[in-house]
C-alpha cells in the first residue's frame, strides 16, 4: 500500500492570495476541495490513502479563509474560490479530476462550468445548486453567533454538529456516538475571521441549477441518504440539471458521509475515476 508519509506543504499563488497545498503520489491528478470551515487535511483520513493506493496523484489544499492559506477576512466571492482551485490545478498540471464536498462541491460545479478545460471529470459529494429556507436560516444563525463573538457550549456544539452531520444509524450506537462527540469536541469550533468570510459568500443563496445545464464535463453526484445539512434531494437536483451526470446515493450516511461511510464513498469515487481514465 502506498503511504503518504510526511508531506511538505506547497504554496500556490492566485494573485495576492496564498494557498497551502499538499501533493503526494503518482498517476492521474486528483484535486480535492473541502467544505466550509474545514482544512484540506480532512481528506487525508480516508480518501487520500485510498486514491494513492489506486494509483492517483492527490492534491489537497486549504481554501482561502482557512489558515495557513490567506484568510481574506475582508471578504471574497465564489468566483474567487473557483479561481483559487483553477490556480491549484494549473500549478500541478491540468486537466485534473476534481472532487469536492459541500461548499467544495459547489466550487467544483462552478469550476466545471467556468473552466471546463481544467476538469477531466468531476465528483460532487453532498452538494446543492440552490438554497432552502431552512438552510438560509441556519447560515444566518451561524453568522449571527460569530458576529456576536459567541460560541456554543462545547458539549452542545458537539451534539448539534453530530445531529446535523451524521446518520441516525451511526448515532443509534452509543459507543459510536460517544466517539464522534469526542472527535467533534476535539476539533473545536471554527470561529476565525476567514471562516466568517466563507459563511458570507454572496453567491450562497443563488439558484444555479439552470446554469448547470451547460456543464459539459463528465460528472458523478453522490448524495448521502441521511444528510440533514444539505438534504439529499438537493444533490439529486444537481445531478438532474447536469446533462449526462451519474447519481449515486450512500445509505446510512449524513453530511459527513465521506468520513462516516468511507468504504462506500471510496468505492464509488475510485470506480468512477477509473472509468474516466
Helix (H, G, I), strand (E, B) or coil at 267: helix
Rounded-to-integer distance, Cα 5 and Cα 11, Å:
19
Asked if residue 227 lies in contact with residue 126, where contact means CB atoms within 8 angstroms, the answer is yes
Residue in 70, 102, 167, 245 annotated catalytic: 102
Residue in 62, 84, 190, 255 annotated catalytic: 255
Asked if residue 97 lies in contact with residue 273, where contact means CB atoms within 8 angstroms, the answer is yes
Strands (E), the chain: 10-14, 17-24, 29-33, 57-61, 96-101, 119-125, 219-224, 246-250
227 is known as an active-site residue: yes
255 is known as an active-site residue: yes
80 is known as an active-site residue: no
CA-CA distances (angstroms) from residue 27 to 5, 6, 58, 215, 225? 17, 19, 9, 26, 32
Burial of 55 (0-12, 13-18, 19+ CB in 10 A): middle
**Bridging pattern class, strands 10-14 and 17-24:** antiparallel
Q: Which residue has the cell 481574506?
A: 72
Backbone angles phi, psi at 99, to 5 degrees: -125, 125
Q: Tell me the sheet residues that pair with 17.
A: 14
DSSP states of 80-106 as a string?
A: HHHHHHHHHHHHH-SSEEEEEETHHHH
Residue in 62, 84, 226, 227 annotated catalytic: 227
Residues with a catalytic annotation lie at 102, 227, 255
Amino acid at each position: 500500500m502506498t503511504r503518504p508519509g510526511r508531506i511538505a506543504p506547497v504554496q500556490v499563488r492566485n494573485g495576492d492570495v496564498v494557498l497551502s497545498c499538499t501533493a503526494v503520489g503518482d498517476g492521474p491528478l486528483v484535486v480535492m476541495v473541502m467544505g466550509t470551515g474545514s482544512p484540506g487535511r480532512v481528506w487525508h483520513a480516508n480518501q487520500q490513502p485510498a486514491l494513492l493506493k489506486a494509483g492517483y496523484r492527490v492534491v489537497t489544499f486549504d481554501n482561502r479563509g482557512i489558515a495557513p492559506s490567506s484568510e481574506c477576512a475582508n471578504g471574497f466571492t465564489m468566483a474567487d474560490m473557483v479561481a483559487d482551485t483553477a490556480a491549484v490545478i494549473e500549478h500541478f498540471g491540468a486537466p485534473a479530476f476534481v472532487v469536492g464536498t459541500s461548499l467544495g462541491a459547489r466550487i467544483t460545479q462552478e469550476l466545471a462550468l467556468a473552466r471546463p478545460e481544467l476538469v477531466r471529470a468531476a465528483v460532487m459529494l453532498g452538494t446543492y445548486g440552490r438554497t432552502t429556507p431552512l438552510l438560509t436560516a441556519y447560515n444566518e444563525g451561524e453568522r449571527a453567533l460569530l458576529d456576536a463573538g459567541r460560541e456554543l457550549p462545547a458539549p452542545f456544539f458537539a451534539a448539534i454538529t453530530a445531529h446535523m452531520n451524521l446518520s441516525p444509524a451511526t448515532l443509534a450506537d452509543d459507543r459510536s456516538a460517544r466517539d464522534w462527540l469526542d472527535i467533534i469536541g476535539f476539533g473545536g469550533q471554527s470561529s476565525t475571521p476567514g471562516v466568517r468570510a466563507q459563511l458570507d459568500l454572496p453567491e450562497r443563496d443563488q439558484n444555479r441549477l439552470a446554469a448547470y445545464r451547460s456543464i459539459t464535463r463528465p460528472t458523478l453526484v453522490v448524495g448521502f441518504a441521511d444528510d440533514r445539512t444539505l438534504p439529499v434531494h438537493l444533490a439529486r437536483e444537481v445531478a438532474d440539471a447536469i446533462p449526462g451526470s451519474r447519481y449515486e446515493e450512500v445509505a446510512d450516511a449524513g453530511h459527513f458521509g465521506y468520513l462516516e461511510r468511507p468504504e462506500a464513498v471510496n468505492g464509488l469515487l475510485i470506480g468512477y475515476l477509473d472509468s474516466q481514465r
